[in-house]
């Protein structure tokens, strides 16, 4: 009876180990398939971006370098490249509970929309193509690079945030100019007065005989009659 129980325990342990081994093997296969798919998608994205940059008259190798490839896309589309730094620094906002995470996500999404709409516009594509770039970037990037579409030059989407920032900066500069306007006017007036005096001194002449002031075009002195 004891030998039967021991045999059953050994069989049960072997069956459990076999099941665990099977699950582990299946999990490894699943992970391997996911990694392979991710690798293929990554290669498609790199090739597509390489082709897009070449079509825009730029070298293709920046497609291999993270962040620099995004900078090159900003360059050919006219998007302000400062957005890259803003997106990279936006995770700092996560220190603010809830709102910080939402702000970080909003910045990333806004920049993606701005970049992909501008990219589609720069190659003569519509908003639908930009949606495809947003959700299926590697495949639409490849189609954009190898397709018949031509690069039309930078055609950025209207960046309301940067435009607002630039507008405020311009207003501040204008205010500073207004505050210094009095000094500017005074300086301008002084320069103007000097120029007038110089002009008058050049045009005004005197009789070498009697010292009487005479007109510039006069041929005779009105006082002594000397020929000039």
Q: Report in angstroms the alpha-carbon separations of 83 from 23, 33, 67, 193, 220.
A: 45, 35, 11, 50, 77
- For residue range 157-175, list pLDDT tens digits in order: 999 888 887 777 666 665 5
Is residue 197 over pLDDT 50? no
What is the per-residue pLDDT for 143? 95
Is residue 194 over pLDDT 90? no
- For residue range 109-163, list pLDDT tens digits in order: 999 999 999 999 999 999 999 999 999 999 999 999 999 999 999 999 999 888 8
Distance CA 191, CA 201 (A): 15
Q: Are 87 and 108 in contact (CB under 8 A)?
A: yes
Per cent of the chain over pLDDT 70 is 64
Q: Are 140 and 133 in contact (CB under 8 A)?
A: yes
Is residue 68 over pLDDT 70? yes
Distance CA 136, CA 45 (A): 10
Q: 3-state DSSP call for residue 74?
A: helix
Helices (H) and strands (E) in the chain, counts: 8, 2
Is residue 185 over pLDDT 60? no
pLDDT band at 53 (very low <50, low <70, confident <90, very high): very high
What is the per-residue pLDDT for 125? 94
Q: Report in angstroms the alpha-carbon separations of 118 from 52, 83, 210, 225.
A: 13, 14, 80, 82
What is the per-residue pLDDT for 206? 65
> What value does the mean pLDDT take over residues 55-82?
96
What is the per-residue pLDDT for 89? 93
């Amino acid at each position: 009876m004891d030998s039967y129980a021991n045999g059953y325990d050994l069989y049960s342990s072997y069956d459990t180990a076999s099941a665990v081994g099977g699950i582990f093997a299946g999990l490894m296969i699943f992970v391997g398939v996911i990694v392979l798919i991710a690798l293929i998608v990554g290669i498609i994205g790199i090739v597509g971006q390489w082709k897009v940059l070449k079509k825009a008259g730029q070298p293709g190798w920046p497609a291999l370098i993270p962040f620099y490839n995004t900078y090159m896309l900003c360059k050919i589309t006219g998007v302000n490249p400062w957005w890259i730094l803003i997106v990279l620094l936006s995770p700092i906002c996560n220190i603010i509970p809830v709102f910080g995470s939402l702000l970080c996500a909003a910045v990333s999404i806004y920049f993606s929309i701005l970049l992909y709409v501008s990219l589609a516009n720069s190659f003569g594509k519509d908003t639908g193509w930009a949606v495809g770039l947003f959700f299926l970037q590697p495949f639409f990037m490849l189609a954009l690079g190898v397709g018949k579409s031509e690069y039309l030059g930078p055609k950025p989407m209207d960046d309301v945030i940067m435009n607002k920032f630039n507008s405020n900066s311009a207003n501040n500069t204008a205010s500073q100019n207004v505050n210094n306007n009095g000094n500017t006017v005074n300086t301008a007036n002084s320069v103007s007065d000097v120029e007038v005096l110089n002009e008058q001194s050049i045009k005004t002449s005197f009789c070498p005989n009697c010292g009487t002031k005479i007109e510039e075009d006069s041929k005779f002195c009105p006082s002594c009659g000397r020929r000039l």
